[in-house]
Amino acid sequence: MRYANYVSEMREPVLASRLRLAVVRLNRRLRAQRTDQSVSLTQQAALSTLYKCGSLTPGRLAAKEGVQPPSMTRVIAALEDLGFVARSAHPTDGRQFIVALTPAGRTFVEETISVREAWLDRKLAALTDKERAVLSSAAEIIDRMAGNE
């Protein structure tokens, strides 16, 4: 049986749809927990990628973020103006440069993570032990589904 046929025969929303919507809603709520509203979500995503992956070329950062290089160039310029990233010469290619977090950028990302995790901790504290255990198992499964990226 094809998935589309399987979906159309069910009366309740299927797991895939329910899970997708729940993940999107949770992600939206987490992203709303921000330390600085002047930094755009796109800029925060680029900072987070640099925090996770380390220094990158603008092209590699754009690819990881799924945006075009010219867009990433504008993001990098804005982050540089804020003092959150710095450029340095590429070690082997004089046409390129490397983008890295500054100490201020690292602090910004860590503060944002802390604010988001504090919000999530408050939400988790309102759940029962059984619900938290279910979410713990679900987190492992979702991480595996996402390929541990």
- Could you tell me the pTM of the whole model? 0.78
pLDDT at 38 (0 to 100): 85
Report which of 51, 56, 54, 65 is spatially closest to residue 106, judged by C-alpha positions.
51
> Helix or strand or coil: residue 102?
coil
Q: Does domain 33-145 correspond to CATH entry 1.10.10.10?
A: yes
pLDDT at 147 (0 to 100): 84
pLDDT at 101 (0 to 100): 97
DSSP state, residue 30: H
Alpha-carbon dihedral of residues 39, 47, 61, 140, nearest 10 degrees? -120
Crossing angle of the two packed helices 15-32 and 103-125, in degrees rounded to 10? 120
| pLDDT, block means (10 residues), the chain with 149 residues | 53 80 92 85 94 94 93 95 93 88 96 94 96 95 81
